[in-house]
Structure 1
Amino acid sequence: MELNEIRSRLADLKTAHLADADQRLRVMNSAIRPLQTGLKLIGSAYTVNCHNDFLTVIKSIQEARSGDVIVIETQGSVLAVAGELLSTEAMQKGVAGFVIDGAFRDTASVRAMNFPVYAHTFTPMSGTSKRIFHTREVVECGGVEVRPGEIIFGDDDGVLVLSLEEATRLIPVAEEIKARDERVLARLQEGVSLYDLINFDEHWQKIEAGEKSELTFTVDQG
């Protein structure tokens, strides 16, 4: 599956669909939260390593390709490594968004830009611009490993990291899950009980008996 197709098909999915397709996926921890809800973040990872200094982040914005997501490991920084100015520059250059395992600032201004930013925390205090760090190397962000070029997919529920192989394998499964969920939701909106659309009794009895079982939908899959 080509990258453009991956991006297009992910745009119609939720992170929850991918997580249901494979619960072993790399999911950034819940401390990495979106600055603004209602936006999706999809792109290839341009990785950055820095600490309380944004000089290398400026470099990454200049080098990133349109559609890249700048993923920043800050080694526990307490000072902001990006804000309104860098977000404006990144947006104008076609960068898809930021994921920062560290601090961000100028939140109100950037929220009004509709530019996807995920961060660990926020502070008015800016980092320095005096130290050179690494780009395009493996980083740890939100508790998971991110390799340059991997797919970053974020929405209000959080951020997933996918290899190209994982995306190619799991997107069709996630699309089936989405279609099933839509059928279930339609039945619920018709007044059907969720209880009647799942194998609750059978599943409960097996669990109670110490047997293996899976809670599944019984709604028509056609």
Structure 2
Amino acid sequence: MPHYVVRSIDRADPDVIAALRTAGVATTHEAAGRTGLLGPEIQARQAGTAIGGSAVTVSCHPGDNLMIHAAVEVCRPGDVLVVTTTSPSTDGMFGELLATSLAARGVLGLVIDAGVRDVAELRGLGFPVWSRAVHAQGTVKASPGSVNVPVVAAGQLVRPGDIVVADDDGVLVLPIAAGGTVAEAAAERLANESAKRERLAAGVLGVDLYGLRPLLEELGVRYVDRLPG
């Protein structure tokens, strides 16, 4: 099987990416028709951080981070590195030194379907990561892989240049072509949620705001003061 490091990829409009980052993973997921989420096993390793960028994808041999080092060279400011392995792995394939190298090239963060280590140092650097595991198990640099090829991370297809949005709620990816439409839909949802938030804060009940009382009745849900003796 051939292995490649692809130097040039298409990237989405930075304004579209920024709008989706502002909307956040949950709202963007809804606006995209509930598509694009990576599985919940990919967890944020810091709190309160949100990023949006273009995917630089990496396919590695498990327990081997050679191709992550190879990927650094083709990264640009505003990218997000998305790393997968060819079979399941929780080894700590990424740590402080690689983060330092990526940060120097303007990379916004890492999404990895494997493990990371040096977590305290990563937080100190302000370099956000989303990973399957935190594991001190070291890796080697010996096996070929590829950079900027389609990969599957936590059940989700990720193509080079895809829009990546990540925050405390998880990680979502979108094709470049869908970005503008989803950003518009996300903005509409945010405006709608703002109006609902004001009404809920004023004391309006969700069952009334969403018109749920007829549905409850239809489903046979009864309101009683006490359970029958």
TM-score (norm 2): 0.85
Match of 2:15 in 1: 5
Match of 1:213 in 2: none
Distance 2:59 2:119 in 1: 22
Match of 1:72 in 2: 83
CA positional deviation for 1:184? 1.1
Q: Does 1:104 pair with 2:109?
A: no
Q: What amino acid does structure 2 have at the position aligned with 1:73? A: T
The answer on whether the counterparts of 1:153 and 1:159 sit within 8 Å (CA) in structure 2 is yes
Q: Does 1:45 pair with 2:55?
A: yes
Match of 1:195 in 2: 207
The answer on whether the counterparts of 1:139 and 1:147 sit within 8 Å (CA) in structure 2 is yes
The answer on whether the counterparts of 2:116 and 2:133 sit within 8 Å (CA) in structure 1 is yes
Distance 1:21 1:63 in 2: 31
2:74 aligned to which of 57, 63, 76 = 63
CA positional deviation for 1:177? 0.8
Report the secondary structure of 1:80's partner residue.
coil
1:47-106 superposed Cα distances (whole Å, 9 cap, x missing partner): 101121111101111211111111111221232211111011111210111110001000
Report the secondary structure of 2:173's partner residue.
strand
Identity fraction in percent:
31
TM-score (norm 1): 0.88
Distance 2:65 2:75 in 1: 15
Report the secondary structure of 1:14's partner residue.
helix
Match of 2:6 in 1: none
* Range with greater deviation from structure 2 (46-55 or 181-190): 181-190
Match of 2:178 in 1: 166
**Structure 2 unmatched runs, 5+:** 1-11, 221-229
Distance 2:34 2:196 in 1: 25
Distance 1:116 1:207 in 2: 45
Q: Give every structure 1 segment of 4 or more consecutive aligned residues whose post-TM-superposition deviation is greater than 6 Å.
A: none
Q: What amino acid does structure 2 have at the position aligned with 1:59? A: A
Report the secondary structure of 1:140's partner residue.
strand
Q: What amino acid does structure 2 have at the position aligned with 1:203? A: L
Q: Which has the larger radius of gyration?
A: 2
Report the secondary structure of 2:23's partner residue.
coil
1:87-126 superposed Cα distances (whole Å, 9 cap, x missing partner): 1111121011111000100011111222120000011121
The answer on whether the counterparts of 2:20 and 2:28 sit within 8 Å (CA) in structure 1 is no
Distance 2:46 2:196 in 1: 29
Q: What amino acid does structure 1 have at the position aligned with 2:131? A: A
Match of 1:212 in 2: none
Report the secondary structure of 2:115's partner residue.
strand
Distance 1:192 1:24 in 2: 27
RMSD of aligned Cα (Å): 1.7
Match of 2:165 in 1: 153
Q: Does 1:82 pair with 2:119?
A: no
**How many residues end up aligned between the 2 structures?**
208
The answer on whether the counterparts of 1:52 and 1:79 sit within 8 Å (CA) in structure 2 is yes
